[in-house]
Each structure stands twice: as C-alpha cells, then as structure tokens.
Structure 1
C-alpha cells in the first residue's frame, strides 16, 4: 500500500475532472467561512495590470471574473519564462478558459462562476507572485509545484479566506516562513517543501487544523516548537532542515490523527521520547540521519499499524527489543549506523518474518559488517540515561557530546550526511 506521503504527491498531479471534484468538496467544506470572505474591498488595478484597460467590466459575466482577469493579467506580466507556453492562452476576458484555471460556483451563489482553482504544477514557469493575486478571493486550490517562482510570498494572499490547499513546493521562494498562511482560516493542506525559506517555524503553525504539513528541504533553524502536537495532522514532514534540540513530548497529542512522521536530517539530539509510542495510528516513522542517543523506547511496541521504521545514522544504543520486531504490520526496519549491542528474540532473524531490514554498522555480536570492538567498547561503557534528558532549547547536547568523546578520534561516527531528499 502506498504511503500517505506518496498519495499526496500523486494527488498533486491532477486531472481536470479531479480538480473540479476537489473544488466542489472544498467549497462544501468552506461554506461556513464563505459569508466572511466577500467583505474584501475590490480595488481597481487597471493602471497596474496594463492590459486590464482593454476590457470593460461589461465584458465579464460577473464582477468576480473581472477581478480574476485583473489578477491573472498582472501575474502574466511578471512571468519571465514560460518554456511550455502554459500561459499562452491567458488572453481576453474568458478567464475560465485559461489553461490551469478552473471555475466553479461559489458556496453562496450556485448560479455564477468564479475562479476557484489554479493548477500550474510542473509548468516550469519563472516569475514571482504579484500582490494582485489577493483579488482571487474565491480561490480554494492553489497548486504551483515544480516551477521557478521566486521572491517573497505576498501578504495579500491573506484575502484568500476560502483557500483549502496551498502548494508552493519545488520553487525558489525565499525569506522567513510565509506567515500569510497562518491567516488562512480554512487551510487544510500546506506544502512548502524544496524552497529556500529560513529561520524558525512559528508555533502558530501547529495551532492550525491542518491535515498535511510539508516543510521539508528548506533552511529552517532553531528548534521544533514545543506545541508540535496541538494540530490534527495525519502527515507531518519536516525533514532536511537544521532544527536541533529534542523532539518535544507534545508529539503525543497527535495520537488520534498522525499516520506519517518524517524527521530525517533535522539535527535532532537527545533521546527519542517514549511519547512517540503513543501515536497508535502511525504507519511511517523515520528519524534517520540525526544525533539521537539512548535506547529504542519500549513504547514503540504499541505501534500496531507501523509499516516502516527507520532509525539509521544516529548514535542510539542498547537492545533492539523483540516487541518492535514483532509488530504485526512491520515491513521495513532500518537501524544501521548506530551502536546497538543486542537483538531480542525474532529481531535476530527478521527475514523469517519477511521484514526487510538493515542492521549494518552496529555492535551486534556474530553479525557481519559491524563496528570494531574498540569503537563499540568505548561507547557502550558510557550508556545514556534518557530520564536525565530534558527537551528544551539546545537540549540533548551533553548526551551527544558524551558519546562522541567516548569514541576513538579516528572512528567514523556516521556515514556522510548527505541525507536523501524525501518527497
């Protein structure tokens, strides 16, 4: 079965019929908020859009399509490269016929058409997002995956109070986390991965009721906010950033919803908190390429739905517990490049259960491709006591330092840290 992350990726490559169906579902979900979204004061941008003066408002079936025309013409004007001529037919007042533009009736009036969805995925367009996009107040879906849009996300997008899906992934946006998304009341899906956003993640992000959060492969720093478990996400991917610190125990608050948690290459330190084992719906857990220390929490034996578990390239130690290896749905268990010294029960023969595994570069007796006795002895003489670790700013550093100091200077700690990109 495909992971939910992959399902979301495939969902981004949508057909016309699927876009329309999704718009209908989004409008149904946003019906309650719709009555608040039409108080936006429409300003005339004819002098800014250039081509707007060639079509009077009488050329459009309703004022909303006139506003959409102004916004789209302003956008076309700041597109520098369109190698596939994706926007070639963005001409004239028939905006519902523009490629990538989808119209549908708004929740408050089923007799009219408005621009409700934009899907420019994989168009390879270069340019930026103009302020005029704030005129598209009926927009429910904005998909811009795999283009070359750059610059700052405009604050005017706060007017898109019906926006349900916002996908800016695989572009060249810069600046701090785009705080405008925090003001979108009906947002359900946020994907800003593979950009150049930097600085801390705002705690307010995790106060929003989002189903999917993808912020991986940016330049975010600081620590993971302590309120990470406040929202209702089923997928949370924050991999390939530079947060540091521990994973907050508040992650347990996502027990009712979270199915996939990916924290690859985020400079996490300290011990993996036992609260991760409370996420009973979890199917994918990947904390590889970090600085985690200490044992595998026994609480992970309660993750009956877990299919993929990746602990590789950390500094974890102790026993690989039989309770984890016996998980009924486990299909892939990777714990290579750590310092585990013992495998309980079935863990010694995972292939007999049909589980794909990788146990290389540990300290497991009688297993091939393990670390040297000298390295193992140095580390195992200094066990980490996880109950002494506390999650706060800069946490876990002492435990990491103790493991490093215990190792011979010439011993390789981890494999090269060019962690794989995760989509």
Structure 2
C-alpha cells in the first residue's frame, strides 16, 4: 500500500510542502496520522529530516518538558548537512539572540520582561487605538462599495496598533507596515524590510533612553536599571521587539481574515453581519481550533535519545509542533465539544514556557476582535464578492491565511475616528 500523501510506501517521510497544506490541511493531517501515528517523519526543504508531532497529548508532552525537548537549536544533529543559504535558517534560529532561542533562566527573565511590558499597556487605550486605525483604514475604501480585505485592511491594521503601543510615532507606522509585509512576501524586498525594522527598533530605543514614555519600549528599558544583573542590553531588547512585532502581525492579520471568511461563508454567524458581537468571539475561537493561523512551528530538539508516540527519537532530532493537527486530534475531539463554551484548550498560542505570553495573546485578541467589530459596524451588509470556492490560501505549511478576501457592500461615508458609528 502506498501513502496517499507522498505516493511512497507507508512509513516514508512526508515532504513538508505542496498545495495540500493550503487546500486541505485537515484531510492531510488525518492521512498522516492514519499512516504514521501521532509523530510523523517529514522532510524539510532540501530533504532535511524532522518529526512532525500530530497528537494532542504528544504535543503537550513535548512543549511541557523543556529539559528533554529543548528550544536550543544548537543541539540539532543536522547542522553539518545544512547549507549557508538554506531557506529555513531564519525560522530555525541558528545563533539568533532573540527570546525564541534563549533557554533556561535567561529565557524566564526575558519572558517576564515582555509580559511586564505588555501588561502595562492600558486595555482601554489599546482598544481605542485599534478602533482609530480601523476607522482610518475603512475610510480609504468605504465609499467604493468593494475592497480586498486582506491587502487593504487585515495586513495593515495589526502593525499600526503595535507600533503605537511600542512607542513609535504615527508618522513611522506606514513604513513599518511596508517593512513587515515585505519581509512576509519573502521576495527581493525581504532583506530591505528586515533592515528597516531593525534600524527602526534601535532608533526607537535611542529615543526612549532620552525621553521615556508610557509605552512597551520604555517599560522594557526599565529592566536595564535592575541591580541584580538581570537587565538586558539594547541588542536583546531590540531583538525581542522585532520578534514581538513579527509574531503579533501576521498571525493576527490571518486571525482577522480567517474569522471574517468563516462569518461570511457560514450561516451560523450571519447575525454578526448585523451587529451581533457575541458571534464575533465565537467565530474567532472556532478559527483558533479549526483554522489556526499558526499551523506548524519549528521547533524543539531532543536533548537525549527518547521515545515519543511510539517513535524512537534520537538525541539532536528536530521536532516540529503540529499545532493545527493537534487541535484536530480525534483522541480529544471525539464529540466536537472543544468548540463550545469558549473552550481555549487549543494550541493556537502554543503551550509551556515557550508559549506566546498571555498578555501578548490578549493584545492580539483585542486587535483582531476590534478590527472585525468596527468593520461590521461600518459595513453591515458586507458580503463576499466572489464564490467561497474561489478564495485561495497562502501556500505554506507554517502560517495559514487567505491570499485575498474580495468583498462588496453598500458605499458609506467616511467618519472621523468612528463618529458615524
């Protein structure tokens, strides 16, 4: 019998690429689980081997044991086989100084610094910023009767809000939007986007050293005053600000797009299009279970030989976190109850000490929910401008989002920061 995923004999490693990750990931994960179990062998770009953790319980085990399954990429047993131009190097994090690849006590300290800075953000101000920028973006297309929600709205909103709470002036917001989206495109402007983001972060820190404010950058710089040796350098803080902006932008934009797609194509959420706020939260929660923006994450590295899901994992093996697959594990989704009552036991934000910090989750939720609610308030008869079957997804096994979401609506007048609402 051959594997329907690869055409190879059962047990063969599955290439972590191809259109099915965009078109039918749920079916693909079911086939992988059927043919390989809860931990499947996969191949990354260039035939590099890794394990994809598909099982909910197995993923909980991996993310909950940072000693056995470490975030230290230096443990990887494949480094001798990785070329200098390997396309996934930025994701794997070889010798990167950010919090993503810091381990032990230093990671705990950096995570606490980030959580403290984000917790200090006034939630009412955050929502007001999200409403302001949402209204400004909607004003650019509300009189036309048609727009493309992903490019004209979802991919613009999160960065503008994050830039404001980090401490950037609004004049620098559009440049940061361009830089972030250039980096995501991964084309010739990706490097320029990364350089612009880095220089902007260092410039921001220099400004906040001279004139601190009530913003995330200033709160993070306060750690440099610690007298116990736990303070952080500008380099570390700048790296973490870049990670926070990247992690807060694309997944939040996809959360907005995926939730709107669900609400525009599923009759259960039709009431939301006429001002029903409760359904917005339900749709957003369902997306985190069924259509989570972050599908797969690299990764964890085994610190010694071990067993996981009936597989022998060798010391230094790379394990990829199959968040989307684990959310759909039939062992924990036997009756579909995971979607009811606001159940948040999904893996959309990860798990364990390297999960997305809870304050960061709250920031993303406020931006996404406010963005959806303002849009539906302003354009209550919003509808798809193309058949749902024509909507396309980004061809990536890592982040799941729409490439476009064309909509139509009755043209409406512009507003001054939502006064018409």
Length-normalised TM-score, structure 2? 0.22
Q: Which structure has greater helix proportion?
A: 2
* TM-score normalized with structure 1 length: 0.22
More strand by share: 1
State the structure with more CA Rg.
Answer: 1
Q: Which has the higher contact order (CA 8 A, sep 6+)?
A: 2
